Chains A and B, each alone.
Chain A
């Protein structure tokens, strides 16, 4: 099965009657702007990590189309469970640079109020969020609303037992859930062919999920497919899976060295399929982008980068004290005693 593609790597648009999408200048400019901003934010966070301001960073470079195209196909009220590199999607939901950085600064274990953005905190244990999304969707099903739930994960996570349990469970229960896999070809150093023999979208059908595969570097195709599948789920069609074939252009994290396990030519071949350049080619050919728009987006990018650097350096010192009261709803005597001892120690160090 070939991935759905509406926009070829050289920027040629070919409509697909199976996946209708009204491609307007406004739509393309919006996608373009969001992807450029996401990449700039990502680059800035990488630089901050290299300067020692962040403990770790997991880049989303190359996956902007998969994230922006999909999350904008959902309603703002649809609850989303991300994995841990969904910065591009998160920015579309209005999360701030400070919220996205604080966890990687090492100041907190998560960065934002999930209820505010309908965007769950990052889950670092692979695939653990898939059963959460399934359960959340069971709740939506019982509440009888027209929300759907979406969960992001990667090709590596799809090998986990909990991913496969969730596919099966969601299908059996018929919950309103979209599984969105960004197949970025690499799970740290392990390529997809070592993870699985049958492609994920094929496996998903065996579980009884409606499944599709899309060119994950084609923001128009990702959007068209996600929109149609989301509305099908919303209409009661049951859970579905979209496999977006994309590429992790950077290492797994800033601790990784991808030159140890993949070739420069492989990276080059994916650079040629860059999601942002591809959309830009279409916009240039159509005359939908001019110097004014470029300048405006550049100004916005600079402002975002400046904010990113500023908030990172403004993070204040943190201490243990807050942890003791966040463990249980009602602090236990043990926690209260440990807190007292800790505070007494801190005071004694002051002398």
Chain B
């Protein structure tokens, strides 16, 4: 495939999913004629019709609730929640219904619903449009929670999510929607990884940066700067936030002996706490320093003019790296 933006890569992934399986349905607010507020679903309704690409009422609980009903009927809905901060009205449907139906029926019922959520900040948006709420869903048994970071992964992770048997919360880092990269043509390409696998995106010897979504590019930038200072940082893109690929994570930390977890979400009770704890348990004797975390503060997401001070950037990542080496 030619170079695609992350937005277009997901669009193409949705198109392939719709082509591959007549039971796939794309649904959400403004996903039809408008093509979604980020144009991720651009052109799909025109080509697949309004029965398969559905403009829904503005009712998040029912977007997920009706998707569950469609899945019970044998369909494979891929719903879009327009912004991260708008998912909460659907929280009960996701946590109490979608996540639990398989376990409640001892596996009799399968509800393969994919919920796409543009996530995170960095685009100067108004409040409720820049949140990182992955920990809420990672905390819930029965969901797969994934976050893409580049166009190639965005495309293939979406196609895998659309074919799987489990419900998937599919996060798309909205600040990276316009970043471009090459996308593998075929599932046989070695770059196409299973949905639940982490990826070493930059090998290094001295310290592991564990990150995902919009922060992968930030960590790569930090690693480049560190390289100029003679430190060789490894960057691991977690990709799957639940379940975690602890084998890849611990293999990396066992090699480097130092670890910093970076995410946009507040660090308190965030995913970094779980990852840090798991790494400490598994790599205790290999660690040269405690696992450190870089993330959002324990405040609501700030106004747009302040978000640069809230969001981790390369400097904050490198500050944590310095602390890890100084231990």
Residues of chain A whose beta carbon lies under 8 Å from any beta carbon of chain B: 108-110, 113-115, 120-121, 123, 125, 128, 130-140, 142-143, 161-162, 165-166, 168-169, 172, 322-323, 325-330, 332-335
Contacts of A132 in B (CB 8 A): 65-66, 68-69, 72, 97
Contact among A142, A165, A326, A332 with B196 in the assembled complex (CB-CB below 8 Å): A332
B102 touches A329 (CB 8 A): yes
Question: A164 → chain B, closest Cβ, in Å?
Answer: 9
Contact among B51, B57, B104 with A110 in the assembled complex (CB-CB below 8 Å): B104
A109 touches B66 (CB 8 A): no
**CB of B309 closer than 8 Å to a CB of A:** no
Contact among B69, B109, B164 with A133 in the assembled complex (CB-CB below 8 Å): B69
Question: B102 → chain A, closest Cβ, in Å?
Answer: 6
Number of inter-chain CB pairs below 8 Å: 133
Complex interface bits, B82-111 against A, C-beta within 8 A gives 1, otherwise 0: 000000010011001100101111111110
- A172 and B57 contact, Cβ closer than 8 Å, known pairs A128-B65, A329-B166, A332-B196: yes
Contacts of A115 in B (CB 8 A): 108
A329–B93 Cα gap in the complex (Å)? 19
Contact among A123, A134, A140, A334 with B243 in the assembled complex (CB-CB below 8 Å): A334
- A125 and B92 contact, Cβ closer than 8 Å, known pairs A134-B65, A333-B246: yes
A-B contact pairs, 10 of them (CB 8 A): A109-B104, A109-B105, A131-B93, A135-B66, A139-B75, A169-B59, A325-B107, A332-B242, A334-B243, A334-B244
B106 touches A108 (CB 8 A): yes
Interface range on chain B: under 10, 10 to 19, 20 to 34, or 35 or more?
35 or more
- A168 and B93 contact, Cβ closer than 8 Å, known pairs A327-B102, A328-B142: no
Chain A residue nearest to B99 in the complex (CB) = A327
A135 touches B72 (CB 8 A): yes
B61 touches A131 (CB 8 A): yes
- A121 and B62 contact, Cβ closer than 8 Å, known pairs A132-B97, A136-B73, A140-B73: no
A328 touches B144 (CB 8 A): yes
Contacts of A169 in B (CB 8 A): 56-57, 59, 62, 66
Contact among B59, B106, B144 with A165 in the assembled complex (CB-CB below 8 Å): B59
Chain B residue nearest to A322 in the complex (CB) = B106
**CB of B74 closer than 8 Å to a CB of A:** yes
A135–B101 Cα gap in the complex (Å)? 15
